[in-house]
Structure 1
Amino acid sequence: MLTDPGHLLLFVAASVALIGLPGPNVLYICTRSMTQGTAAGLVSALGVETGTLVHVLATAFGVAALVSAQPWALEALTLLGAGYLAHLGARSLAEARSTDRADGTAAPTHRLPRVYGQGVLVNVLNPKVMLFFLAFLPQWVSEGATGTQARTEMLVLGAITFLLGLVMDLAYASAAGVLGHRLPTRALTGRSAKYTVAAVYFGLAITTVLT
């Protein structure tokens, strides 16, 4: 399969169509960019796509299949993911309530390593992403491929998906950062930014549980 340009091009087209549509990860990244600056959004995108690599490895080495076969494991991962998002929302809410920024100045910049780590966890703890790769990648492996060959092909295909996702997420982050700077009001600065981020995190947590 990997030596067939036509099949590989079809895989790229399918990947772009599936991962290019805005979803929870894009919402998370854009919120970071609009409320905390473009740098935070770009670093969040790097973190999210690092989580994608984790899912690719889990799929290629059979970990994702083991987890998906156990309903309790999927439920536990879902609750962990929702709980972590709720934790981020609660932290943002606490920061909003404890910070007196009535003058409308910009919200304090978060440490980028922490932003990166949060992006990784937001994606790794999302079971829907794991199930997506588990269902998607094996379909494109060469017919009859098993063992090392199948694993290698999934790793290569996953790397392609990672690169495509990274490019698109960085584009979303950059566009959201520009939009955040051009808003005619200061609705996304200071304390209001914290409330906005908290609302997004809580919304994502609820969505994770319900879907």
Structure 2
Amino acid sequence: MVERNAVLGVVSVALGMVLSPGPNMMYLVSRSIGQGRRAGLISLSGVVAGFLVYLAAANLGLAVLLAAFPQVLAVIRLAGAAYLLWLAWQAVRPGGVSVFAVRDVPPDSPRRLFTMGLMTNLLNPKIAVLYVSVIPQFVDVSRGDVLLQGVVLGGLQIAVAATVNSSIVLAAGGVAGFLAPRPGWLRAQRLVTGGMLGALAVTIAVPGGASHLLAG
């Protein structure tokens, strides 16, 4: 079954990913600010549906692959670390824009909000890499059912993402209003996010780092 360190590792990665600027967060924040909290929550339901699609597709294929070729984890580990470093750079690079910068968006129907949330997530390369290159490295072939481990760890990621994004949707308007006249705070948000992702990338890149993440 899934060990404690794997749970802590996935939760840490999930937090770093969900707090980093990306298509999902930008879409949810823009809808919440431009069309209200209800629109943001409907959009989030579409995003969660996209996570479930990735969870099913990735684990059905990866369960077979990792059981047959455990060495693939080394390649997955390096690819995941490289992508986390790229996300960290996007967050801290000069000229970057905070996700809480106010943007004007036209109103949409609930059906379109859900569909756009779903498609935004399905077409989000960050989530694709998360399920294909990052989460699988926390799977331990020696601990039994690989498919079950993948489902449990993916479920943890979805729970973290849904919880954090719900909080962001509910607070987006107030946060945007607070940060708009404070460019220093917007910059600090980007730097903290980039630092978290960079630290996770370095830990993951070290052999055995994922399984010992936050150990002790």
Report the TM range for the smaller structure's normalisation: 0.5 to 0.7
Alignment of structure 1 residues 25-104 onto 2, 5 Å: 25-62=24-61
* SS of alignment partner, residue 57 of structure 2: helix
Q: Distance in 2 between matches of 1:175 and 1:48?
A: 18
> How many residues are matched?
142
Conserved? CA contact 1:38–1:178, under 8 Å? no
Equivalent-residue separation in structure 2 for 1:129 and 1:13 (angstroms)? 15
Q: CA, structure 1 residues 35+16, in 2 after alignment: closer, same or farther (shift >3 Å)?
A: same
Matched, 1:133 2:123: no
Q: Which residue, out of 147, 151, 154, partners 2:147?
A: 151
Please identify the structure whose Cα radius of gyration is greater.
Answer: 1
Amino acid at match of 2:56: L
Query: What displacement does 1:152 show?
Result: 1.3
- Any idea what the Cα deviations from partners look like across 1:145-179, whole Å, max 9, x if unmatched? 67xx1111111110110010001111111111345
Deviation at 1:181, TM superposition (A): 8.1
Distance 2:142 2:25 in 1: 36
- Are 1:163 and 2:163 an aligned pair? no
The AA in structure 1 aligned to 2:116 is: Q
State the alpha-carbon separation in 2 of the partners of residues 183 and 141 from structure 1: 39
TM-score normalised over the length of structure 1: 0.57
Please state if 1:121 is matched with 2:119. yes
Q: How far off is 1:120 after superposition?
A: 0.5
Which letter maps to 2:150? M
Name which of structure 1's ranges 15-24 and 47-56 shifts more when overlaid on structure 2.
15-24
Letter in 2 for 1:139: Q
TM-score, normalised to structure 2, is 0.56
Provide the C-alpha distance between the structure 1 equivalents of 2:124 and 2:29, rounded to a whole number of angstroms. Answer: 18
Partner of 2:9: 10
**Does 153-162 or 20-29 show the bigger shift?**
20-29
Q: Indicate if the aligned counterparts of 2:44 and 2:165 stay in contact, CA closer than 8 A.
A: yes
Match of 1:142 in 2: 140
> Partners of 1:50 and 1:159 in 2: how far apart?
12
1:118/1:134 CA distance change after superposition, 3 Å = same
Which of 167, 172, 175 is 1:176 aligned to? 172
* CA–CA separation in structure 1 for the residues paired with 2:35 and 2:19: 23
Aligned partner letter, 1:166: A
CA distance in 2, matches of 1:25, 1:61: 24
Q: Gapped runs of 5+ residues in structure 2?
A: 66-104, 181-216
Specify every segment of 5 or more residues in structure 1 that has no aligned partner in the other structure, as ranges.
Answer: 67-106, 185-211
Is 1:22 aligned to 2:48, yes or no?
no
* SS of match in other structure, 1:22: coil
